[in-house]
Chain A
Amino acid sequence: MQYLCLIYQDESALQNRSKADLDAMYAEYVDFTDDVKRAGRLVGSNRLQPVRTAATVRVRDGSVVATDGPFAETKEQLGGYYLIEARDLNEAIQTAARIPSARFGSVEVRPVWDVRV
Chain B
Amino acid sequence: MEAERQNSAGAVESIRDTIDAVYRNESRRVLATLIRLLGDFDRAEEALADAFRAALEQWPRDGVPDNPRAWLVSTGRFKALDALRRRKRLQPLPDDINERLAAEDGDPASLDGEAVGDDRLRLIFTCCHPALAPEAQVALTLREVCSLTTEEIGRAFLVPAPTLAQRIVRAKAKIKSARIPYEVPGRADLAERLDAVLRVVYLVFNEGYSASSGTAVTRHDLSSEAIRLGRLLTELLPEPEAIGLLALMLLHESRRAARSTADGELVLLDAQDRSLWDRDQIAEGSTLVERALASRVFGPYTVQAAIAAVHANSPTADATDWARIVALYDVLLSAERSPVVELNRAVAVAMCDGPAAGLALIDGLMSGGELSSYHLAHAARADLCRRLGRTSEARAAYRRALALTQQTPERRFLERRLAELK
Please state if B179 and A88 are interface contacts (CB–CB under 8 Å): yes
Contact A111 B181, CB 8 Å, known A93-B131, A116-B94: no
Please tell me which one of the listed residues A1, A90, A116 contacts residue B185 in the complex, with CB atoms under 8 A apart. A90
CA distance A111 to B181 in the complex (A): 13
Q: Does B323 lie at the interface of the complex (its beta carbon under 8 Å from any beta carbon of A)?
A: no
Please state if A89 and B179 are interface contacts (CB–CB under 8 Å): yes
Please state if B94 and A89 are interface contacts (CB–CB under 8 Å): no
A73 → chain B closest CB, angstroms: 25
Please state if B94 and A111 are interface contacts (CB–CB under 8 Å): no
Residue of A nearest to B176 (CB): A111
Per-residue interface assignment for chain A, residues 73 to 117, with 1 indicating a CB less than 8 Å from any chain B CB and 0 otherwise: 000000000000001111001000000000000000001000010
B121 → chain A closest CB, angstroms: 15
Chain A interface extent, by class: under 10
Chain A contacts for B177, CB-based, 8 A: 111
CA distance A89 to B183 in the complex (A): 11
B362 → chain A closest CB, angstroms: 35
Residue of B nearest to A114 (CB): B177
Chain A contacts for B189, CB-based, 8 A: 90
- Can you report 20 residue pairs joining A to B where beta carbons are below 8 Å apart? A1-B179, A87-B179, A87-B181, A88-B179, A88-B180, A88-B181, A89-B129, A89-B131, A89-B178, A89-B180, A90-B180, A90-B181, A90-B183, A90-B185, A90-B189, A93-B131, A111-B177, A111-B178, A111-B179, A116-B94
Chain A contacts for B185, CB-based, 8 A: 90
A93 → chain B closest CB, angstroms: 7
The number of A-B residue pairs with CB atoms under 8 Å apart is: 22
CA distance A93 to B178 in the complex (A): 11
A30 → chain B closest CB, angstroms: 25
Per-residue interface assignment for chain B, residues 177 to 198, with 1 indicating a CB less than 8 Å from any chain A CB and 0 otherwise: 1111101010001000000000
Q: Which of B385-403 contact A (CB under 8 A)?
A: none
CA distance A93 to B179 in the complex (A): 12
CA distance A29 to B190 in the complex (A): 27
B36 → chain A closest CB, angstroms: 14
Q: Which of A1-15 contact B (CB under 8 A)?
A: 1
Chain A contacts for B183, CB-based, 8 A: 90
Residue of A nearest to B186 (CB): A90
CA distance A116 to B178 in the complex (A): 16
Chain B contacts for A89, CB-based, 8 A: 129, 131, 178-181
Residue of B nearest to A90 (CB): B181
Chain B contacts for A87, CB-based, 8 A: 179, 181
CA distance A89 to B131 in the complex (A): 9
CA distance A50 to B94 in the complex (A): 41
A113 → chain B closest CB, angstroms: 8
CA distance A89 to B185 in the complex (A): 12
Chain B contacts for A93, CB-based, 8 A: 131
B161 → chain A closest CB, angstroms: 29
Cβ-closest 3 pairs across A and B: A88-B181, A88-B179, A111-B178
A115 → chain B closest CB, angstroms: 12
Chain B contacts for A1, CB-based, 8 A: 179
